[in-house]
């Protein structure tokens, strides 16, 4: 049975799919992210389809090709798999290369967002077994529509983390 996803009106228009999110620029992603809600850890349980959306630091001539590549079947990242361990914490892993590999484990919990004065679901990669460059990544997600989440990937470089990319996750 196909899952029906209702459209949700947002500050940037109606958003209900990864394609809708992929049409947004970095500024629109930030506006939508700030108006989204904080999901509960169990809300994301399962295999979610993922897509890289916007790269706020990239020049336009770089950002366009990156976004096109992210939509192609050749993009290595396929999404994330989540598993709640309790109501307030869980774990997950990234699926890459046609879902053949599962790399870079993370832990999940609700905590303060780096993007404003609100909470977000945190994805913490600072775990034994992850390479040092992956341990510097701090993802966070907020729900923009039922079964659809907008995420920010931050790099913890030096004293201040830097926003590296927006990504989307969707239940299928």
Q: How many helices (H) and strands (E) does the chain have?
A: 4, 10
Instruction: Tokens for 43, please give them.
Output: 């809300």
Q: Are 156 and 132 in contact (CB under 8 A)?
A: no
What SS3 class is residue 165? strand
3: pLDDT strictly greater than 60: no
Given a cut of 50, is residue 152 above it in pLDDT? Answer: yes
The encoded tokens of residue 9 equal 């009106």
pLDDT bracket for residue 99 (50, 70, 90) = confident
Q: Which band of pLDDT confidence, cut at 50, 70 and 90, is reported for residue 63?
A: low
CA distances from 34 to 20, 106, 125 (A): 17, 23, 23
Strands (E), 13-159: 13-15, 46-54, 77-86, 89-96, 101-112, 119-124, 137-145, 148-157
- Among 26, 24, 23, residue whose Cα is nearest residue 165: 26
Whether residue 98 is predicted with pLDDT greater than 70 in this model: the reply is yes
The answer to whether 86 and 65 are in contact (CB under 8 A) is no
Lookup result for tokens 């870079």: 104
Contacts of 73 (CB under 8 A, 6+ apart): none
On whether the CB atoms of residues 48 and 150 are closer than 8 A, the answer is: no
At residue 100 the predicted structure's pLDDT band, cuts being 50, 70 and 90, is confident
Contacts of 23 (CB under 8 A, 6+ apart): none
CA distance 149 to 147: 7
Q: Does 1 score more than 60 pLDDT?
A: no
With beta carbons less than 8 A apart as the criterion, state whether 151 and 11 touch: no
Domain map (residue ranges) of the chain:
12-170
């Amino acid at each position: 049975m196909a899952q029906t996803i209702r459209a949700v009106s947002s500050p940037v228009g109606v958003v209900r799919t990864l394609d809708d999110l992929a049409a947004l620029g970095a500024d629109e992603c930030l506006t939508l992210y700030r108006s989204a809600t904080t999901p509960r850890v169990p809300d994301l349980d399962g295999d979610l389809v993922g897509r890289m959306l916007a790269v706020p630091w990239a020049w336009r001539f770089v950002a366009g090709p990156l976004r096109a590549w992210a939509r192609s079947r050749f993009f290595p990242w396929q999404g994330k798999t989540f598993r709640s361990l309790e109501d307030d914490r869980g774990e997950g892993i990234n699926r890459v290369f046609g879902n053949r590999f599962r790399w870079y484990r993370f832990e999940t919990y609700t905590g303060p967002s780096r993007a404003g004065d609100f909470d977000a679901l945190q994805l913490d990669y600072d775990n034994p077994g992850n390479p040092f460059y992956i341990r510097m990544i701090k993802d966070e997600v907020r729900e923009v529509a039922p079964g659809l989440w907008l995420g920010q990937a931050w790099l913890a470089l030096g004293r201040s983390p830097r926003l590296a990319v927006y990504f989307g996750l969707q239940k299928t």
